[in-house]
Amino acid sequence: MIEMSEVYKTYPNGVLAINGIDIMINQGEFVYVVGPSGAGKSTFIKMMYREEKPSSGKIVINGVDLSTLKESKVPMLRRQIGVVFQDFKLLPKLTVFENVAFALEVIGENPKSIKKRVLDVLDLVQLKHKARFFPDELSGGEQQRVSIARSIVNNPAVMIADEPTGNLDPDTSWEIMNLFEEINNRGTTIVMATHNKEIVNTLKKRVIAVEDGKIVRDEARGEYGIYD
């Protein structure tokens, strides 16, 4: 599903962010990526949806070799990957419905099928009743649920989340985690970078710990460890 071998990444300013990573993540897995700030978690995750290119090494996502992927094929790769961020990245001038529909409109989906799919996914995140609301009329947790709805409306095989609970209070964070569990149970692979110790230690999943650009720990049902 997600495979990295001998991956190195040096930024143009000389910073060595990833210093030799080999990893294999299977279809349907739920993986936490943990580690201190600046350890390379974000770079690791960004390389999966090709926001960043590795300096060397091989990355294969869902059968697509990113090292030989043409620039023009990147959009097709992204359609198989849903991405969720700490800051939600919603469009403030669009309603909840429009924000989710946006993801389908811009890949040229048939307008007739968009409505149904958006309503289905809003139902899943339990926000159907707020479809006409604007993002600033929602709580942080609700906004994050909208962004999750947007990321999965296209039925991606992989969902990548970069600190999705970073801006949320503990109760709301658990709402989001329950939603992730549900999405994972439907067969979607989830890779989630997090600083949330409580979540990692309670909802036990595979843990990959990154430090100084290397994987220092990879446990099937791991603990968060001692960071910050």
Question: How many CB atoms within 10 Å of residue 208?
Answer: 22
Q: Per-residue string for binding with another protein, 137-166, x by CB under 8 A?
A: -------------xx--x------------
Q: Determine which residue in the list 106, 116, 136, 171 makes contact with another protein, applying CB under 8 A.
A: 106
Q: Determine which residue in the list 5, 76, 126, 178 makes contact with another protein, applying CB under 8 A.
A: 76
Q: How many CA atoms lie within 13 A of 202 on its CB side?
A: 10
List the strands of the sheet with 56-61, edge to edge. 16-25, 2-10, 56-61, 64-65
Q: Determine which residue in the list 15, 24, 91, 216 makes contact with another protein, applying CB under 8 A.
A: 91
Which residue's CB is nearer to another protein, number 4 or number 81? 81
| Contact (Cβ atoms closer than 8 angstroms) between residue 85 and residue 168 | no
Contacts of 84 (CB under 8 A, 6+ apart): 144, 147, 148, 151, 159, 160, 161, 162, 164
134 binds another protein (CB under 8 A): no
Tokens linked to 95: 């309603």
Length of the chain: 228
What is the C-alpha separation between 78 and 80, in angstroms, rounded?
Answer: 5
Q: Determine which residue in the list 13, 37, 68, 110 makes contact with another protein, applying CB under 8 A.
A: 110
89 binds another protein (CB under 8 A): yes
Residues in region 163-222 near another protein by CB under 8 A = none
Q: Considering only the stretches 31-39, 58-66, 102-110, 121-129, report the one whose residues sit in contact with another protein under the rule CB under 8 A.
A: 102-110
Task: List residues binding another protein (CB under 8 A).
Answer: 49, 72, 75-79, 83, 89, 91, 102-103, 105-108, 110-111, 150-151, 154
